[in-house]
Amino acid sequence: MSTVSPPENLEKDPRVKAVFDDIRATRKVDTLNNLWLYLAATPDLLEEVWQGVKVVMATESALDAKTKEMIYIAVSIANSCSYCIHSHTAAARAKGMSAEEHADLLRVVSLAGRTNHLLNGLQVPVDAAFDQDAS
Amino acid sequence: MSTVSPPENLEKDPRVKAVFDDIRATRKVDTLNNLWLYLAATPDLLEEVWQGVKVVMATESALDAKTKEMIYIAVSIANSCSYCIHSHTAAARAKGMSAEEHADLLRVVSLAGRTNHLLNGLQVPVDAAFDQDAS
Amino acid sequence: MSTVSPPENLEKDPRVKAVFDDIRATRKVDTLNNLWLYLAATPDLLEEVWQGVKVVMATESALDAKTKEMIYIAVSIANSCSYCIHSHTAAARAKGMSAEEHADLLRVVSLAGRTNHLLNGLQVPVDAAFDQDAS
Amino acid sequence: MSTVSPPENLEKDPRVKAVFDDIRATRKVDTLNNLWLYLAATPDLLEEVWQGVKVVMATESALDAKTKEMIYIAVSIANSCSYCIHSHTAAARAKGMSAEEHADLLRVVSLAGRTNHLLNGLQVPVDAAFDQDAS
Amino acid sequence: MSTVSPPENLEKDPRVKAVFDDIRATRKVDTLNNLWLYLAATPDLLEEVWQGVKVVMATESALDAKTKEMIYIAVSIANSCSYCIHSHTAAARAKGMSAEEHADLLRVVSLAGRTNHLLNGLQVPVDAAFDQDAS
Amino acid sequence: MSTVSPPENLEKDPRVKAVFDDIRATRKVDTLNNLWLYLAATPDLLEEVWQGVKVVMATESALDAKTKEMIYIAVSIANSCSYCIHSHTAAARAKGMSAEEHADLLRVVSLAGRTNHLLNGLQVPVDAAFDQDAS
C-alpha cells in the first residue's frame, strides 16, 4: 500500500525507458527495485533521483562502494525508513558486506543511538578542541 | 550550558579515577572530552557508557576503526546530536579520515537523507527480493 | 495490529457520539478514519485530539486548506509516521492537490532532507542576517 | 537568536496579559519562561499552546506530575529539542526529580535509543503476542 | 520480513542457550520475544544487548519498573520504532500500566511532540534560569 | 564552531567562483549565506548541492516559491536542523510569507508533531480507503 501507483506500460515513455536502461546497465541487473517503478509516474523526479544516486553511489570516489552502502544503512536506520534499510542492506551484501560486518555495523549504529540520546539529554558543551581550526 | 554540572575534584572518587585512567590508557591521551567530565557526577552511568564505547569502538572487530567512526558520524547527523557530530568527526580524523573521505561521507549521508524522505513519502512496498532468505 | 483496540458499540458513549457527529458534519463524510475509532476507547483524548485538529485544519486561517495538508505531509514524512503520511496525502488530494503538486512536494521534502543532513554534518554557524531583528 | 522576536510591552494586549496571569497563578511563579514571551507575538497561538500545556501538565491525571515531566524529557531528547530538554529538566526537578532519578531516566532513554536503532536495523517482525487483543 | 534470519536450532550454541536461559529466569517467562531469536545469529551482539537491557530494566534502580517501561515507550514513539512500541507497551502493561495511564502517557508524548516542533520552529533562546548551576 | 573551515580566498578556484556567480545572479543578492562559504572547501559537493537547490527551489514548478519555502521549513523543524530553520524562515519571508502565515505554519507543524507521536504510539492500521488505487 503506497501513496502513489506506478503507471501501466512503464517503459512506453521514452524518458522512463532511458532511465531504466541506464539503471540496468550501470547496475548490471535485469530487474528494477520497486522504487524506480513507482517513480516512473513522474519522469522528472525519476531522472533527478537516479542521477543523484548514480553520481554518488555508482561512481568511483574516496570511499569504496561497500562502505558507502553501510553508511547509507546507518542513516536509514536513524531515519526509520524501512524500505531504505531493506534495499541498502541488500545492496551492501551484494557489494561484499559479510554477516560479521553487518553485525558490527549494527553494534556501532546502536551504540551511536545510545550516546546520541545521552548527549542530547546532558546537553554537554562541545569541547573547544573539536573546533576544525584546531584539528 | 548543560542539564547537569560536573562535580568538583572529579577524580577523588576512585571509581571515576579508574574509568578516567582507563580512557587515558586506551586512547593514549592526556585530556578527556567534556562528555566524561559531565558523566562523572554519576559513576554508575560513567562506567556503563565507557564500557559500551570501549567494547565497540576501541576493540578490534570486523570493521576498521575509521569506518566505525564514520558510521558513528552518519547516525549522529541523522539524530541531530551536535556534540556527537563534533566529537566523532574529530575522532574519525584522528583515525585517518581525509578531507576527501569526509566530503564523500557527507555526500552519502545527505543523499540517504534525501531518499529516506522520498521513500517515506511514497510508502513504496518493500521488494520481496530484499527478504533475507533470498539474499 | 495496534497497541490499543477500539471498543465495541463505539457510539453508545454519548461523548464519543458527539465527537463522531461533529467530525461527520465538519468534514461532510459518512465514514470515519481508523484513528477516530481507535481513540474512542479514551473519550478525553478523543475530544482533545479532534478539537486540536478541527481548530487548526478545519477552520479558515492564513494558509489555505490544501497548503496546510501539504505541510502536514511534509512533517509526517520527516517523522516517519506511516499512518499520517497516508491519511494526509488522501486529505490533500481531497482538497485539490494535483499529481504534479504532489511530485513537487516530494521534491522539496527530499531536498530538505538532503540539506538538513548536510548542514547537521557541517555544523555551519547561523548567519547573523537570519536574526529576526534584521528580517 | 530566534526566528521571531517578542513584541515590546508584551502585556499591553489583554489576551496576552490574561494568559500570562493564568500561567503565573497556575504555576505559582513570578517569571515566565522565554517560550511564553516569544509566543506573545501571536496571541492565538499563545492561547492554544498554554491551554494544551495546562490541561495535560497542570491538571490531575492518571500519572503524577513528576512522571509526566520525565516522559516529556524523554520525548524531547529523542526529538533533539534543546530548549525543551532544558525547560522540562528544570520542571522535573522542581517537581521532585532527584539526581538519581535523572541519571536513571538518562540510562533508560539511552538504552531505548540503542535498541530502537538495533530493531530498526533488524526489521524484526512484531510478535503476535503483542497484539492488543492478546494483552 | 527482516534483514537477518534467525539460525535453525537456536539453542545448540551454548552461548545462545545461556542467554536464553537467563532471559527466561530473569523475566519468569517460557517464550522469548522475536528480538532475541533474531539476535541469536550473532551471539556477541545477543550477549551485549541482553546485558544492557538486564542491567537497566531488570535491576532495582531509582525509578520503578513500570515508569521505566513508559519512558521506553515514549522514546520509541519519538524514534518511530514499531517493534519497540509494541514490545514495551506489552511490557508496561505486564508491569501494571492501566488503560488510563497509557492514555495519559500518549497525551504527554503527543503534547511533547507538539511543543518540540513549535520550539524548534521558533528557536527560542534557552532561559539562563535553566542552567544547572541555578537549579 | 563547525566541523569544516572555509578555505581562504574562496573565489580563487574558478569552479567555486562559477557557482558563487550563479548563486548571486539567480538569487539577485550580493552576499552569500555561510552554507556556500563552508561548502567551497569541496567544489564537487558545492556544485552538486547548488545544482540540486537551484533546480528545485529557483525554478518554476507546480508549487509557488513561497509554499516551497514553507514546506522546507516544516521538514527542517521536524529534523531539528537549526541552520536550515533559520535560513528558510528568512527565505520564506523574502518570498512574501507574512507573520500570520508563519504563525499558521507553526500551528500546522506542531499539530502534525502531536498527531505523528499519537499515531506512532497507537500503531493504528492504515485505512484501506487511503490506498492510492482508491483515491
Per DSSP, the residues of F39-108 read HTTSHHHHHHHHHHHHHHHSS--SS-HHHHHHHHHHHHHHTT-HHHHHHHHHHHHHTT--HHHHHHHHHH
> Does the pLDDT value for residue D135 go beyond 90?
no
> Does the pLDDT value for residue D133 go beyond 60?
no
Asked whether the beta carbons of residue A104 and residue B68 sit closer than 8 angstroms, the reply is yes
* d(CA A99, nearest CA chain F) in Å: 31
pLDDT at residue B67, rounded to an integer: 98
pLDDT at residue C135, rounded to an integer: 44
Q: Which residues of C touch B86 (CB under 8 A)?
A: 123
- Residue-by-residue pLDDT tens, chain A, 135 positions: 799 998 888 899 999 999 999 999 999 999 999 999 999 999 999 999 999 999 999 999 999 999 999 999 999 999 999 999 999 999 999 999 999 999 999 999 999 999 999 999 999 999 998 876 544
Phi (first) and psi of residue A63, to 5 degrees: -100, 145
Average pLDDT, chain D: 94
pLDDT at residue E134, rounded to an integer: 47
Burial class (CB in 10 A: 0-12, 13-18, 19+), D9: exposed
Q: How far is residue E33 from each of residues E2, E8, E30, measured CA to CA in Å?
A: 15, 16, 10
Parts of chain F belonging to CATH 1.20.1290.10:
11-59, 61-122
Of D1, D45, D81, the CB nearest to F103: D45
Look at residue B7 and give its three-state secondary structure.
Answer: coil
Q: What is the value of ipTM here, to two decimals?
A: 0.95
Of A80, A89, A110, the CB nearest to E3: A89
pLDDT at residue F132, rounded to an integer: 67
Q: Find out whether C89 and C102 touch, Cβ atoms under 8 Å.
A: yes
> Does the pLDDT value for residue D1 go beyond 50?
yes
pLDDT at residue E58, rounded to an integer: 93
Query: Does domain A8-59 bear CATH number 1.20.1290.10?
Result: yes
* d(CA E4, nearest CA chain A) in Å: 9
CA E20 – CA E22 distance, rounded (Å): 5
In angstroms, the first-to-last Cα distance of chain D is: 48
Q: How far is residue F22 from each of residues A7, E24, F88, F118, measured CA to CA in Å?
A: 37, 65, 19, 45
CATH topology of domain D9-59: AhpD-like (1.20.1290)
Of B44, B75, B79, the CB nearest to D80: B79
> Does the pLDDT value for residue F83 go beyond 60?
yes
Asked whether the beta carbons of residue D110 and residue A123 sit closer than 8 angstroms, the reply is no
Higher-confidence residue of A131 and F85: namely: F85
CA E76 – CA B114 distance, rounded (Å): 23
Parts of chain A belonging to CATH 1.20.1290.10:
8-59, 61-123
Comparing alpha-carbon positions, the chain C residue that sits nearest to B88 is: C121
- Domain E61-121 homologous superfamily, CATH: AhpD-like (1.20.1290.10)
Asked whether the beta carbons of residue F114 and residue E118 sit closer than 8 angstroms, the reply is no
**Averaged pLDDT, D123-135:** 79
Q: How far is residue A89 from each of residues B116, B126, E2, measured CA to CA in Å?
A: 14, 12, 10
pLDDT < 50 regions, chain C: 134-135
pLDDT at residue E132, rounded to an integer: 67
Q: Find out whether B83 and A126 touch, Cβ atoms under 8 Å.
A: yes
Taking only the tens place, the pLDDT of each residue in F42-56 is: 999 999 999 999 999
* d(CA D65, nearest CA chain A) in Å: 20
CATH number given to F11-59: 1.20.1290.10
Average pLDDT, chain E: 94
Q: Which residues of C touch F95 (CB under 8 A)?
A: none
CATH number given to B1-59: 1.20.1290.10
Taking only the tens place, the pLDDT of each residue in F63-82 is: 999 999 999 999 999 999 99
CATH number given to E10-59: 1.20.1290.10
CA B37 – CA B20 distance, rounded (Å): 9
pLDDT < 50 regions, chain B: 134-135
CATH number given to A61-123: 1.20.1290.10
Q: How far is residue A53 from each of residues A110, B21, B107, measured CA to CA in Å?
A: 26, 46, 10
**Which of A2, A3, A47, A83 is the best mutation test for C, with the most CBs of C within 10 A?**
A3
Of B48, B55, B131, the CB nearest to E1: B131
Grid-cell match 494526509, residue found: C88
Domain F61-122: top CATH class: mainly alpha
pLDDT at residue A27, rounded to an integer: 94
Asked whether the beta carbons of residue C115 and residue F74 sit closer than 8 angstroms, the reply is no
Parts of chain C belonging to CATH 1.20.1290.10:
1-59, 61-123
Q: How far is residue C38 from each of residues C3, C43, F74, F94, measured CA to CA in Å?
A: 10, 10, 27, 43
CB proximity under 8 Å: A 77-116 to E: 80, 85-86, 89, 99, 102-103, 106-107, 110
> Does the pLDDT value for residue D134 go beyond 50?
no
Asked whether the beta carbons of residue D42 and residue F99 sit closer than 8 angstroms, the reply is yes
Q: Which residues of B touch F41 (CB under 8 A)?
A: 99, 103
Taking only the tens place, the pLDDT of each residue in E22-52 is: 999 999 999 999 999 999 999 999 999 999 9
**Averaged pLDDT, E69-77:** 98
pLDDT at residue C132, rounded to an integer: 67
Q: In the complex, which subunits touch D with 3 or more CB pairs below 8 angstroms?
A: A, B, C, E, F
**Which of E105, E120, E126 is the best mutation test for F, with the most CBs of F within 10 A?**
E120
pLDDT at residue B132, rounded to an integer: 67
Q: Computed from CA positions of residues A72, A77, A78, A83, in that sequence, does the dihedral angle turn out positive or negative?
A: positive
Count CB pairs under 8 A between chains A and E: 21
E126 — contact with chain B (CB < 8 Å)?
A: yes
> Does the pLDDT value for residue E135 go beyond 70?
no
> Does the pLDDT value for residue D131 go beyond 90?
no
Percent of chain F with pLDDT over 70: 97
Q: What angle do CA A121, B95, B19 make, to 5 degrees?
A: 50
> Does the pLDDT value for residue F134 go beyond 90?
no
Parts of chain D belonging to CATH 1.20.1290.10:
9-59, 61-122
pLDDT at residue A1, rounded to an integer: 78
pLDDT category, F135, cuts 50, 70, 90?
A: very low
